[in-house]
Chain A
Amino acid sequence: MKQELIELGHYVIKHAEKLGATQVEAYFESTRTLEVKIEKGLIRLAAEKLDSGCGMRVAIGNQLGVSYVTSILEKDLEQSAQDAVKAAQASVADSDFKSFTSTQTPYPTVKGLFDKELDQLSCEQAFEILTRAVESSKEVSGTERNLIEGGFTAESKTIVIVNSEGITGNSSTTKVKLDISSTISTGEDKCSSWEIQNSRVLAEIDPEKIGATSAQNALALRGAKSMECGEMPLILTPRALWEVLGTGFAEALNAREVQDGKSYFTDSLGSPIASSELEIADNGILSGALGSRPFDAEGFPSQNTMLVKSGILHSYLHDSFTSTRDEVECTGNATRSSYRSIPTIGASNLVVTPGTCTLEEMISEVDKGVLCTFTFDRPNSVTGELSAMIMEGFLISQGEVQHALKNTLFGITMQDLLKKTIQVGSDVENRENIQTPSILIESAKITSGQ
């Protein structure tokens, strides 16, 4: 497949150049996805998706055009090249554009990104894994009514990127995801929670653990009450910090947003932005990690970039456009979720360095505060203000977890959240491309109502 796509890439470049393009980039994906969904603990839908397509970017001088097509047939690629050229002709010249990636640095070898077993997985194997997860959730909930939903996705993907500036990159990767949610009813009390596991390798998937954890998380939420409002310490567990950092932090370091003055980290390079406890990196070459890849979405080599060390901001996340504009080295952070989307800037693997204390130690030090185990919220990326509903959380009193919370929110700015982090846990967990530990924040505003 790789060789066929590389040849098609060169064909596309020639064709677009004939139509008037001065530079061309062709990004191909060929993906097999096996997806199984469960509902009420039973298999509901099985899907096998074979998706091959191409996203193109062309330049005529510094006018840029983009196209994509859900096919890799020659005649469809020709039409798509024509679309991209047409789009470029109609566009306004972008003075920030100099060239598509042209680096000659060889791509790093990143281990553990492809698993043969996953590549050849059958739907029966997926059914079996899900059934094991369901059984272990049921074991935890016992005789209580437990509605189990979830899914299993296995993906095997080949990426080829070719451009007119001499770039040729190819990679084959696999990915697997298991997610289980358990909704457990005891009388009027209905509690729901979930757990997710992502990996590059099938053997790492632990359906028993994921099923059981989702049910244990749900049971812990029984008897939820509201609480007194006020300023108090807040602990975010790895699952809670996953969402807050994954969206709210990475987006603020996006150099394009920074250059546009639309990030709360504008003009912060070299300044203290976090407590000295925090160390955060963007590591695109971490062995076996979900966000690892040998090259980014523009064909630039992946690297490990220190973002925050001893509380100081060391780098933003750059693609070829923003690094040219800022006259800095590219960090290889162009990402695209598929050939159907345009390259944007995003983290590869966002990695928070673990600290030394355990979650239990953190809880024991809080006289009155909140333990948040999940929120779905993200901060305002311009101001950094975060007002988050505690989807799953607990009141802590005198160093012990008291009861689950309902209708409760926490409010803090991201600037304060980072600066007021007084402890970092040793309990790092991986979800998708984010690695987070628990953190203890000195104080946040808690609002709670009936």
Chain B
Amino acid sequence: MEDLANLAIETGIDTGASFVDIRLEYTRKTNLDVVNEVTRNTILATEKGAGIRAFADGSWAFGYTSDLSKAGIKNAAKSITKMAIAASKWTEERYEIEAPSFQDLIEYKGKIPIDKTPVEYKIDLAKRLSKDMSQVDPRVKSARIVYRDIYTELLVANSLGTMVRQETGRLVFIPMCTAKDERSTQQAHLALGFTGGLGDVSDELLQMLVNEPSRVALSLLDSKAVKGGVYDVIADPPLNGAMIHEAFGHACEGDSLTGGSSVLQDRMGTRVGPEHINLFDDTTLKGHLGSAVYDWEGTRTKRKQLVKDGVLSEFMHSLDTASRLEMEANGAARAMTFMYPPIPRMSNTFMEPGDWNLDELIEDTKEGIIMCNVDYGYTDSTKGSFMFKSVHGQLIENGERTDIVRDASIAGQILDILPKIDAICSDFFYDAGSCGTQGQMAWVMSGGPHIRLKQVPVGGV
């Protein structure tokens, strides 16, 4: 594989590129979807090929091939470089790619490794979880377990001398529960993900996969649709995490800054929220779904503190954005597969806990709403606006929890929302999610403590 990588790099440089990189990937995937102990789609897949990029005079070209013969790689490198040179005639910004190089080999280690465990074992596990969820309550009508695992061997090499081989194993569980009674049908889900093996998932977490979605779906049977209005909102950890991810994290991705579109443009070192706010994106955490030792450009990953004591302090960079903004590459480049060019992405994004106790915070909130989990959310980092739809929630009246509500959504402006956070709890929880940007999906984690936001518009029906 190393010789193919070197061939692509040499060919690109000889054709006129000033920087060339290549990702040679071999991935095995398992996707399971088990509903009421019946398998729906059992998928075993192989993705393998080479993605090549060439840079010339401020322009990039990208392409890929699944033809891994010497001739195939050579032809691809040549035609991609020619495309970069053609594109460079249409651009004005001139810069070079400058970055440190890395050489390393990272092996996959996992208890009950996903690549060596037969699919029967995984199906049995999903069936068991589905059965346990069905048995929680007779009103559970559909107990669905989506399971995915992804084993990847990736070789990244570039013309600056990087040659990194990395093996990773990721697994994701998405249990979904549909509950039904004579009044309504309601759904709830959870998403947890890990790097490692099946044996690294604790029994406590497996239990949570069964209990949490069924608890929420059943509680929603008694729910009302929320009435739109302006509320004090307590966001739970998954919603808080999603808000940080969507509303803030995306604006900290290097390419939204080089594109000139981020609302955080020119705000580095300035105050963006109250002093008690600290936000991180940490790719180095052990066992988390977004974790990796090297990124998809072969740069060693780092813990990045996006906001320190309320002040914007770090962005997430690829080689391109770091070179253009003359900052340090910090290992945030990811590609969905070899079929996509790497771009700056989040990994494990979270807010540091504070010192409020949740019960005290509810008591302190005279009239408000607790909003939990995320159905979906999105952001427009140009406008600075975002929107999230929660799955469930509860009204607070006179400092006490009252009616269960569903489908509440929260909307706002990125730069307005952080100052509205007036209380941060001491608890913490992470959940998994898949984030889509520029047509590329990436598995991420996001989380934090419960927080309170003062006076935000909440949409209802």
A202 is an interface residue with CB less than 8 A from chain B: no
CB distance from A242 to the nearest CB of B (A): 16
Q: Would A377 and B43 be within 8 Å (CB), given that A123-B86, A383-B184, A411-B459 are in contact?
A: no
CB distance from B190 to the nearest CB of A (A): 17
Cα-based distance from A413 to B141 in the complex (angstroms): 24
In the assembled complex, the CB of A435 is this many whole angstroms from the nearest CB of chain B, namely: 23
Q: Is A232 an interface residue when CB atoms closer than 8 A count as contact?
A: no
Residue from A43, A64, A181, A406 whose CB has the most chain B CB atoms within 10 Å: A43
Query: Do the beta carbons of A69 and B380 come within 8 Å of each other?
Result: no
User: Once the chains bind, are A445 and B461 in contact (CB under 8 Å)?
Assistant: yes
Take A192-B382, A449-B455 as given contacts and tell me if A46 and B228 are in contact as well, using a CB distance cutoff of 8 Å.
Answer: no
**Given A70-B66, A70-B339, A260-B142, do A123 and B44 touch, yes or no (CB 8 Å)?**
no
> Is the Cβ of B45 less than 8 Å from the Cβ of A447?
no
Residues of the B chain whose Cβ atoms lie less than 8 Å from the Cβ of A53:
66
**Stretch touching chain A among B56-64, B96-104, B356-364:** B56-64
Tell me if A382 and B187 are in contact (CB < 8 A): yes
Q: Are B259 and A39 in contact (CB under 8 A)?
A: yes
In contact, A90 and B120 (Cβ under 8 angstroms): yes
CB distance A52 to B66 under 8 Å? Answer: yes
User: Is A286 among interface residues, defined by CB-CB distance under 8 A?
Assistant: no
Closest chain-B Cβ to A450's Cβ sits at a distance in Å of: 8
Contacts of A45 in B (CB 8 A): 59-62, 87, 341
Q: Does A87 contact B (CB under 8 A)?
A: yes
Contact between chains at B47 and A147 (CB < 8 Å): no
Given contacts A92-B39, A377-B389, A387-B407, contact A40 B339 (CB under 8 A): no
Report the nearest A residue to B223, measured CB to CB. Answer: A383
Is B41 touching A66 in the complex (CB atoms < 8 A)? yes
Give CA–CA (A51, B382) in the complex, Å: 32
Distance in angstroms between the alpha carbons of A46 and B56 in the assembled complex: 12
Measured between beta carbons, the chain A residues less than 8 angstroms from B380 are 192, 391
Residues of A near B255 (CB, < 8 A) are 39
User: Contacting A46 at CB < 8 Å: which of B61, B118, B180, B411?
Assistant: B61
Interface residue? B266 (CB, 8 A) = no
A373-417 interface code vs B (CB 8 A; 1 in, 0 out) = 000111010110111110100000000000000111111110000
Query: Can you give 27 contacting A-B residue pairs, CB < 8 Å?
Result: A40-B259, A43-B90, A47-B83, A47-B341, A48-B63, A50-B64, A51-B66, A51-B339, A65-B44, A66-B43, A67-B44, A69-B48, A79-B46, A84-B44, A87-B44, A123-B86, A127-B87, A192-B261, A261-B178, A262-B178, A262-B185, A340-B45, A388-B459, A406-B413, A445-B460, A447-B229, A449-B457
- Can you add 15 more A-B contacts, CB < 8 Å, to A46-B59, A92-B37? A45-B60, A67-B44, A68-B43, A69-B48, A80-B46, A87-B119, A123-B86, A127-B86, A183-B382, A192-B261, A382-B178, A385-B225, A386-B461, A389-B387, A447-B460
